Amino acid sequence: MDKPSPGLVRSHCVGTTAVVYASDYLNKLTGEKIERECRRQLDCGCRALVIDFSDTQLVNSIGISILLGIIDVAERNGARVVFSEVNDQTVELFEMLGLTRHVVLAKDEHEALLNLSHYETTPTVH
């Protein structure tokens, strides 16, 4: 079910997985919005996060550092994180900065959810 957040970051939940959509340019401002939304979803009980980059054309290093922060927060909450539909240039950046060591990359949202479904145990609706 789609649930627009106050920070205007698009997101929706599939079971205990939250899908959060990154915008076309991932920088400090948009990164913090995603972080805020991810924290909100985790506080609501989500056990996994999919961050979808299908709209994302450009990512900067501050945006990447915020993504690392999100991964940390998710780990502390026992949640898994998958990045979906990341373009090749962005994958290249993630690899350069070691992000891919901490996160699973999926071709698209469907593949991400499929990947996570193996780990999901108790469906929750919220």
Partner 1 sequence: MNKRSSSENFRRILGRVTQYDFVGRGDELSRIMAHAEPANAGRGLLLLMEPSAGVSELLRQAYDQIFNRRSEVIPIYFAFTRHETTAVSAAIEFLNTFLQQYIAYRRDEPVVSHSTLTLQDLVELAPPADVEWIEQLVDSYTRLRFSNDDKALVRFCLGAPQRIPAGRGRPLIMLDGAQLADYLNGVVVLGTEVLRVFGRGGFTFVLAGLRRQILAAAHEAKCNFELLDILRLQQLDTTQAALLVEHVARRQHVTISEAARDLLVQQFAGNPFFISIFLQAAREKNASLDSYLDCERLYVDELLGGHLHRHFAELLEEIAPRLDTRHLLIRVLWEAAAGEDQTSTFEGWRKRLHVTAGELQEILQRLHAQEFVNWDQGIVEAGVGPQAWKDYLKVRYRLDVLNDPRALVVADALADSLKRAPHTMARHYKQIAGGGLRELIGRFNCQRIPSVLFDYATFSRKYKGAESDTIAAGLEAEADLLKLPQTVHLASCAAFNSDMRQLTDDERCLLAHTFEDGAYSDAQQVIWFTADLEAKLEVDVDVARAWYERFETLAETLSFTRYQIWLISNEGFTEEASRFLNRRKAFSSSRSQLGLIAERVGEPVPAPVVQTTEANEFLMVVPMGEDNELIAASTAEQIARRLLFRPEAINQIKTAVVEACINASEHSFSPDRKIYQRFRLESDRLVVTISSRGIVPANLNGASSGLEISEAAEERRGWGLKLIRTLMDEVEFERVDEGTSLRMTKYLRQSSS
Binding site for partner 1 (CB under 8 A): 6-8, 25, 27, 29, 32-37, 58-62, 64-65, 88-89, 93, 96-97
Supply angle C-alpha 44, 87, 54, rounded to 5: 45
- Output helix, strand, coil percentages for the chain, rounded to the nearest 5: 40, 20, 35
State the nearest-atom distance from the C-beta of 7 to partner 1, in Å. 5
State the nearest-atom distance from the C-beta of 57 to partner 1, in Å. 9
Query: Would you say the C-alpha torsion 75, 103, 106, 52 has a positive or negative sign?
Result: positive
State the nearest-atom distance from the C-beta of 89 to partner 1, in Å. 4
Q: Tell me whether residue 54 or residue 65 sits nearer to partner 1 (CB atom).
A: 65
